[in-house]
């Protein structure tokens, strides 16, 4: 019983071109709203930094003071003062140094999201392929039973066999049809999961082998997953921000210059006015912010160590799963020999050397063998997708 290469698609899809998994992933990631979302997030973060770095506007202070009375106490003073605050700590420069790391962390987060989407779409794509192949096996199984039923009905008409054999094959067809209906429901669910990421009006044919190629080398070297890169950039940004705070005495200085006029009744005069204001840092007002940044830096460091360890183990587990599935597939019989048991059972049944239950068992055994092979291929494919995810692969450029 040979595996049929028939895809369970609507009739309207027959005229459509085939699509590969990379084409589906690329289409899922190419939606404009996705790019706009990440661009907006980066722009928002940049605006927050610009808000922190904005230089205060200079201030203009006008003062008029006048005392009324006799000539001894009468007095009038007027002053105009322009004042600008500044700092000597260089905290703005440190925050500017932190921005490239924050931007890189955001871009790594976007790349991590793309990798997760690509992994999800690839799994959904090959899940459809898996159930399509299973449906093809079941269709071939049912077709073989129906051909057998036709032959037994002809023999029953000649009186060579009893009506029991005809009914027994019909019952077997009913059971196989029920299994096919269950598989069709699972296939419909798999299509629905895949189509969440597509904008197809008509379903195309999916092109791609279910079984992956040989497992890559177990040597992985340095893991470069976007999640880990995001945390590394986040740590650098937090370190730069931490360096920006801690010198409250050197921030908030204000230098003013202006004009002053004094009229003391019998005499008057005018001149320049210069002021300098600086904070009296009797306590460290930056301490709460520095503690917050230290805690965030420690959290990022511990999370990075944890995720690095988990990523290493996930990679090793996926590698082991893929190798085990491929070894099992190699140990199975050659697919070219599928159906031999059924053909031998048919010859033996025609010669009276095998019973009907033995013939039906041969049909079911051949189908189960092919289904088991497909299930192993699906497990190998899932492991290959997980392995690619651990190596940051699978996102088409």
Q: Rounded to an integer, what distance in angstroms lies between the CA atom of residue 21 and that of residue 381?
A: 12
Q: Is the pTM of this model over 0.85?
A: no
Higher pLDDT, 219 or 174: 174
> Residue 231's closest CA among 288, 173, 316, 308?
308
Q: Taking all residues of the chain, what is their mean pLDDT, rounded to a whole number? A: 84
Q: Rounded to an integer, what distance in angstroms lies between the CA atom of residue 130 and that of residue 385?
A: 14
Q: How confident is the model at residue 3 (pLDDT cuts 50, 70, 90)?
A: very low
Buried b (16+ CB within 10 A) or exposed e, 188-225: eebbeebeebbeeeebbebebebbbeebeeeebeebeb
Q: Is the pLDDT of residue 261 over 70?
A: yes
pLDDT per residue over 98-128, tens digit each? 888 888 999 898 888 999 999 999 999 999 9
pLDDT per residue over 283-334, tens digit each? 777 788 888 889 999 999 999 999 888 888 988 899 999 999 999 988 888 8
Q: Rounded to an integer, what distance in angstroms lies between the CA atom of residue 170 and that of residue 165?
A: 9
For residue 286, what pLDDT is reported? 78
For residue 15, what pLDDT is reported? 46
Tell me if 128 sits within 8 A of 206, measured CB to CB: yes
Q: Rounded to an integer, what distance in angstroms lies between the CA atom of residue 169 and that of residue 162?
A: 12
Higher pLDDT, 315 or 13: 315
Tell me if 359 sits within 8 A of 148, measured CB to CB: yes
Q: Is the pLDDT of residue 188 over 60?
A: yes
For residue 2, what pLDDT is reported? 31
pLDDT per residue over 325-361, tens digit each? 999 988 888 887 887 888 888 788 777 787 888 888 8
Q: At what angle do helices 356-390 and 340-350 cross, to 10 degrees?
A: 180
Average pLDDT of the segment spanning 232-240: 90
Q: Rounded to an integer, what distance in angstroms lies between the CA atom of residue 25 and that of residue 206?
A: 12
């Amino acid at each position: 019983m040979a595996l049929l290469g028939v895809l369970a698609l609507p009739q309207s899809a027959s005229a459509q071109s085939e699509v590969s998994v990379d084409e589906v992933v690329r289409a899922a990631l190419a939606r404009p709203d996705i790019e706009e979302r990440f661009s907006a997030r980066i722009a928002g973060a940049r605006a927050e930094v610009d808000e922190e770095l904005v230089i205060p506007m200079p201030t203009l202070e006008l003062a008029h003071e006048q005392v009324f009375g006799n000539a001894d106490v009468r007095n009038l003073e007027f002053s105009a003062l322009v004042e600008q605050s500044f700092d000597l700590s260089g905290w703005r420069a440190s925050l500017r140094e932190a921005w490239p790391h924050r931007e890189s962390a955001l871009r790594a987060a976007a790349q991590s999201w793309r990798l997760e989407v690509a992994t999800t779409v690839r799994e959904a794509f090959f899940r459809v392929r898996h159930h399509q192949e299973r449906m093809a096996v079941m269709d071939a199984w049912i077709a073989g039973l129906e051909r057998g039923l036709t032959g037994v009905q002809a023999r029953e008409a000649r009186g060579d066999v009893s009506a029991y054999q005809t009914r027994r094959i019909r019952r077997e067809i009913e059971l196989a049809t029920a299994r096919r209906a269950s598989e069709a429901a699972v296939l419909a669910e798999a299509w629905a999961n895949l189509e969440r990421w597509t904008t197809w009006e008509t379903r195309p044919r999916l092109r791609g082998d279910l079984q992956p190629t040989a497992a890559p080398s177990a040597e992985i070297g340095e893991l470069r997953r976007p999640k880990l890169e995001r945390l590394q950039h986040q740590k650098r940004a937090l370190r730069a921000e931490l360096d920006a705070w801690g010198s409250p005495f050197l921030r908030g200085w204000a230098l003013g210059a202006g004009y002053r006029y004094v009229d003391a009744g019998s005499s008057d005069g005018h001149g320049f006015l210069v002021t300098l204001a600086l904070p009296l840092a009797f306590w460290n007002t930056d301490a709460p912010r520095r503690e917050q940044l230290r805690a965030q830096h420690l959290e990022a460091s511990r999370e990075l160590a944890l995720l690095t360890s988990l990523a290493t183990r996930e990679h090793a587990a996926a590698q082991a799963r893929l190798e085990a599935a491929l070894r099992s597939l190699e140990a199975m019989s050659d697919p070219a020999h599928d159906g031999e048991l059924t053909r031998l059972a048919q010859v033996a049944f025609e010669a009276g050397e095998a019973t009907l239950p033995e013939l039906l068992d041969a049909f079911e055994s051949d189908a189960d063998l092919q289904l088991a092979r497909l299930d192993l291929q699906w497990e190998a494919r899932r492991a290959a997708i997980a392995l690619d995810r651990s190596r940051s692969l699978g996102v088409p450029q």
